[in-house]
Structure 1
Amino acid sequence: MIKISGSYELEAAREKVWPRIFDPISLMEMIPGCQRLERVGVDEYRGQIQIGVAGVSGTYDTYVTVVEQIPPGYCRFEGEVSGATGTIKGQASFQLKEVERNSQVTYEAQTIITGALAKLSPRFIEGTVQMLIKLGMARLNRQLKAQLVDIGS
């Protein structure tokens, strides 16, 4: 089992951040390599991502179910990512806290990896996932800043 945690500060109030986290269009722009993402139920999403990082390169089908949420501050979900190189199953949660006029996202995840992916170093996998999360958070931050500019003009 691999455990991942961290935090990221976003330059918007959490009431602005929360809806974007559940919007398929916003998520598709935010998730690195996301080729397709659709809401298939009230709290269910299915999609496909392309990852181009050595050792984990490939196309992966994703399925995520939101199992608990307390708007606008907490969410827990479970999911599966599967491709030719293996499967990742796990659960994750995040908290969204106000920090002055900004929001801080704090996240935790636990995953079980099978297939060829399981043969990779846990540190390599954790580093890759952290890199993808930071890239996604930076993209979300750009979306939020652009929204503020649009509202201000």
Structure 2
Amino acid sequence: MKLSDDIRIEASREKVYQALNDPDILRQAIPGCEELERISDTEFAGTVRTKVGPVSARFKGSVVLSDLNPPESYTITGEGKGAASFTKGHANISLSEEGGATILKYDVDVAIGGKLAQLGSRLIEGTAKRLAGEFFNNLQGLLGVPAGQAATGSPERREPAAGRTINWVWIIAGAALLAAVIFGLFMRG
């Protein structure tokens, strides 16, 4: 499954990059994240629990960061496994400035298998949209943007091109997998 989108975050690029590279902030921002630990400067492992329709899943996994170009871009590669499902993929992340805000752009290529994949794309995408919204709202709050600033303080999606959807299954199916997210969803610094 290939996914891409742009997200507007009302904070400076440096501040967003630092937050996306802080395991403590990510642990708080990623819905269902139970643990997230730094193995090395470019390797992380974690566990996330989520529910997609009737399926509750707990994923353990790991990610490796590469092509690091702080605070502009990086690549995340990872995999996660649950009792009856798995995910594997990579994401290219870029951050650009627009006014006082940051535009986070992601391009994801992810494979989802097992019980979770059998639920169908509509259910997975609906859950992913909800979880992505939670992630970005949590992140925005952790960045210190006052609540209730809908015009400038809420994360907003740019209008997607036809056929594009925001789908952060890769974050959710592994803060462990691709913290991030999710996703998921992010960890250098």
Normalising by structure 1, we get a TM-score of 0.87
Secondary structure at 1:28 match in 2: helix
Amino acid at match of 1:85: A
Amino acid at match of 2:115: A
Aligned to 2:50: 51
How many Å apart are 1:119 and its aligned residue? 1.6
% identity of equivalent residues: 34
RMSD, aligned CA: 1.7
Amino acid at match of 1:67: S
Amino acid at match of 1:28: R
Aligned to 2:117: 118
Is the contact between residue 64 and residue 77 of structure 1 (CA under 8 Å) also seen in structure 2?
yes
Secondary structure at 1:145 match in 2: coil
Which deviates more, 85-94 or 131-140?
Answer: 131-140
- In the alignment, the residues of structure 1 paired with residue 11 and residue 90 of structure 2 have an alpha-carbon distance, to the nearest angstrom, of 26
Instruction: Looking at secondary structure, tell me which structure has more helix per residue.
Output: 1
Which deviates more, 91-100 or 108-117?
Answer: 108-117
Stretches of structure 1 that go unaligned for 5 or more consecutive residues are: 148-153
Is the contact between residue 52 and residue 124 of structure 2 (CA under 8 Å) also seen in structure 1?
no
Aligned to 2:91: 92
Q: After superposition, what is the alpha-carbon deviation per residue over 1:98-129, rounded to whole angstroms, capped at 9, x for unaligned? A: 01011111112111122122222123323322
How many Å apart are 1:146 and its aligned residue? 5.3
Aligned to 1:138: 137
- Which of structure 1's runs of 4+ aligned residues deviate more than 4 A? none
- In the alignment, the residues of structure 2 paired with residue 22 and residue 35 of structure 1 have an alpha-carbon distance, to the nearest angstrom, of 17
Which deviates more, 110-119 or 126-135?
Answer: 126-135
Amino acid at match of 2:111: I
Relative contact order, higher structure (CA 8 A, sep 6+): 2
- Count of residues in Structure 1 that have an aligned counterpart in Structure 2: 146
- In the alignment, the residues of structure 1 paired with residue 134 and residue 6 of structure 2 have an alpha-carbon distance, to the nearest angstrom, of 13
Stretches of structure 2 that go unaligned for 5 or more consecutive residues are: 147-189
